[in-house]
Amino acid sequence: MDRRDFLKKTAATSAITSAGVAAPAVWSPSRADARSETLLVVSESGPNNLDIHGVGTNVPGYEVSWNCYDRLITHGMKTGANGLPYYDRDNIKPELAEDMKLGDMSATFKLRKDAVFHDGTPVTAKDVKWSLDRAVSVGGFPTFQMKAGSLEKPEQFVVVDDHTLRIDFVRKDRLTIPDLAVIVPCIVNSGLVKKHATEKDPWGLEYTKLNTAGSGAYKVTKWTPGTEVVMERHDKWVGGSMPKLKRVIWRMVPSPSNRRALLERGDADVSYDLPSKDFAELRNVASLKIVSTPYSNGIQYIGMNVKHPPFDDVRVRKAVAYALPYQKIMDAVLFGLGKPMYGRKPGAPTEVAWPQPHPYDTDIAKAKQLMAEAGHASGFDTTLSFDLGFAVVNEPLCVLVQESLAQIGIRATINKIPGANWRTELTKKTLPLYTNVFSGWLDYPEYFFFWCYDGQNSIFNTMSYQSPAMDKLIAAARASAAVGDKATYDASVKGFVDLAFEDIPRIPIFQPYANVAMQKNVDGYAYWFHRRLDYRSMSKA
């Protein structure tokens, strides 16, 4: 990276040279205010799409959408276990709406009359309807996310007047209202986007892939894919308290050692995807603070495509579950920064909760026995895929898994998929063996299982797992939760957890931690269900 170019783009005096990282930043008094109002974030990978509704939008793209678009409602905050702000699942509050009236089979929202899009156009109920119509119609992940909250068809969204929208329910579902507060049902400037729509692209996805068109607290003013995203504050934002940060510069720095050096020298303000070893060591650096928070409703797992022989044989899947080097992964990859999801003690009861540990642990002899019973005593060849955009965890994890599987005859070739392509490749459901993280935005067991185990075309059931018994249990949990039938709900949750561990199409390894390193003068970090940074609450001394 060229020193002068880096200085120009980040307003920080730092350089990455062939020898490592150059001298610390030096700031002139005249630029101190600009420095205090600018947040410099460095990460391994960046967005491949600025629109959450876009095809194959990756996880970094969520961060752009969250900060640049409003939703009708959002969550309040509470104090988390680590003493820092943590989103409150059960506390819904207005964002673009100033009032919500909840009826038996509908909800009516009054919009803020002073809300405007980034181009100054007033936000109206027609924009909200068009945006929600778009979300339930574009297909793929956005549409399935809406369906997870029983938001399924445009007819549900009714314009009452310019500043009033009613949402009609198709069924009683406790996930409907919380689902309006996730990233997908964002409100888009329909007038602007329609100007760029075509017959082949009626929702203007090609335009919003490259441009933000929201009313949120920030707007993207520059995006160089793979290199940099620059966001400027929307000074007419009314969805919350005006952010203190005027500008966010988000730089992609693939080398973890360079990201760490930029933090230690004070040239970067925040980084959140360093290796766990670095996070553990940086706790001893006086100038930095490290925050670790368990992912809500999330696990890192090994997935196996049950329609791809020999993973269609449950004995092979169980053999893999017994062959995984769980403790080595915890020690050598995570350095303890994760919660084990394996080795449940025999006889321990299944909980009405998710995530929770499964009963498998490393037992190579048992794994070999199962391989022999399945007719694969001599093993087989396969590929083990991972998202290169999160290589700091995925790559060493896969190396350990590859070594361990070799002990039972499974010869796995590691397949590194670029982060920009990962979501697309994963949801094709053709990868035979892979590792991934899934974290359910709505923190309910049935929500996670609806996404990951439901056999009715769930987009993240990437194991191609189909079980009528599983589908019935998930549906029963959702229905009983909606009417407050605790006995049926508890039995259904325990039932689908037990079945998932018996059929084992995906093997939980650990509950990841969201690890964030930042300068001591950075305040306002809050944990959200999507695990990305919320610049709106952050500030710098």
pLDDT digits (tens, 9 = 90+) for 375-399: 999 999 999 999 999 999 999 999 9
Rounded-to-integer distance, Cα 98 and Cα 114, Å: 10
**Taking 50 as the threshold, does the pLDDT of residue 103 lie above it?**
yes
Strands (DSSP E) contained in 31-153 are 38-43, 73-79, 85-94, 97-102, 106-111
Rounded-to-integer distance, Cα 197 and Cα 206, Å: 8
CATH superfamily of 298-513: Dipeptide-binding Protein; Domain 3 (3.10.105.10)
CA separation (Å) from 441 to 181, 234, 532? 10, 26, 12
Find all residues with CB under 8 Å of 331, minimum gap 6, and list them: none
- Structural contact between residues 264 and 287, judged by C-beta atoms closer than 8 angstroms: yes
CA separation (Å) from 319 to 13, 372, 403? 53, 10, 15
Please state whether beta strands 338-340 and 38-43 pair in parallel, antiparallel, or not at all (unpaired): unpaired
Residue indicated by tokens 């002990």: 407
CA separation (Å) from 374 to 75, 116, 321, 370? 49, 62, 14, 6
pLDDT of residue 31: 56
Mean pLDDT of 285-303: 96
- Structural contact between residues 60 and 250, judged by C-beta atoms closer than 8 angstroms: no
**Taking 70 as the threshold, does the pLDDT of residue 33 lie above it?**
no
**What residue spans of 28-158 are helical by DSSP H?**
32-36, 59-68, 125-137, 140-147
Backbone angles phi, psi at 403, to 5 degrees: -65, -40
Please state whether beta strands 410-417 and 433-439 pair in parallel, antiparallel, or not at all (unpaired): unpaired
User: Helix, strand, coil proportions of the chain in percent (round to 5)?
Assistant: 35, 25, 40
CA separation (Å) from 222 to 186, 251, 278? 21, 12, 30
pLDDT of residue 34: 77
Rounded-to-integer distance, Cα 242 and Cα 235, Å: 8
Which tokens belong to 481?
Answer: 């939760």
Confidence of residue 17 (pLDDT cuts 50, 70, 90): very low
pLDDT of residue 2: 42
> CA dihedral in degrees (84, 89, 91, 97; nearest 10)?
110
Rounded-to-integer distance, Cα 101 and Cα 518, Å: 40
Residue 93, sorted as left (phi over 0), alpha (psi -120 to 50) or beta, turns out to be: beta
Of 232, 269, 53, 45, the closest CA to residue 141 belongs to 53
Rounded-to-integer distance, Cα 465 and Cα 504, Å: 10
Would you kindly state where each structural domain of the chain is located, as residue ranges? 3-66+216-287+520-540, 70-76+85-194, 298-513
Mean pLDDT of 91-106: 97
For the chain, the distance separating the N- and C-terminal CA atoms, rounded to the nearest angstrom, is: 28
Could you give the angle at the alpha carbon of 300 between the alpha carbons of 297 and 304, nearest 5°? 115
pLDDT of residue 458: 82
Rounded-to-integer distance, Cα 329 and Cα 394, Å: 10
Instruction: Please tell me the CATH code under which domain 70-76+85-194 is placed.
Output: 3.90.76.10
Rounded-to-integer distance, Cα 147 and Cα 171, Å: 12
Mean pLDDT of 126-145: 97
Rounded-to-integer distance, Cα 183 and Cα 135, Å: 11
pLDDT of residue 24: 37
Mean pLDDT of 482-506: 98
Rounded-to-integer distance, Cα 407 and Cα 373, Å: 16
Rounded-to-integer distance, Cα 510 and Cα 165, Å: 42
Rounded-to-integer distance, Cα 123 and Cα 532, Å: 26
- Structural contact between residues 165 and 128, judged by C-beta atoms closer than 8 angstroms: yes
Please state whether beta strands 288-294 and 506-519 pair in parallel, antiparallel, or not at all (unpaired): antiparallel
pLDDT digits (tens, 9 = 90+) for 245-256: 999 999 999 999
**Taking 90 as the threshold, does the pLDDT of residue 221 lie above it?**
yes
**Taking 60 as the threshold, does the pLDDT of residue 214 lie above it?**
yes
pLDDT digits (tens, 9 = 90+) for 149-175: 999 999 999 999 999 999 999 999 999
Rounded-to-integer distance, Cα 473 and Cα 516, Å: 37
**Taking 60 as the threshold, does the pLDDT of residue 228 lie above it?**
yes
Which tokens belong to 219?
Answer: 């707007």
Work out the mean pLDDT of the chain and round it to a whole number: 93
pLDDT of residue 474: 97
pLDDT of residue 306: 98
Instruction: Please tell me the CATH code under which domain 3-66+216-287+520-540 is placed.
Output: 3.40.190.10
Q: pTM score, two decimals?
A: 0.89
Mean pLDDT of 88-98: 97
Percent pLDDT > 90 in the chain is: 92
**Taking 80 as the threshold, does the pLDDT of residue 1 lie above it?**
no
| Partners of 506 in beta bridges | 303
pLDDT digits (tens, 9 = 90+) for 431-486: 999 999 999 999 999 999 999 999 986 889 999 999 999 999 999 999 999 999 99
pLDDT of residue 125: 98
Which tokens belong to 443?
Answer: 């923190």
Lowest mean pLDDT among 10-19, 126-135, 200-209, 288-297: 10-19
Mean pLDDT of 478-505: 98
Half-sphere exposure of 419 (CA within 13 A, CB side): 22
pLDDT digits (tens, 9 = 90+) for 401-428: 999 999 999 999 999 999 999 999 999 9
Backbone angles phi, psi at 225, to 5 degrees: -50, 130
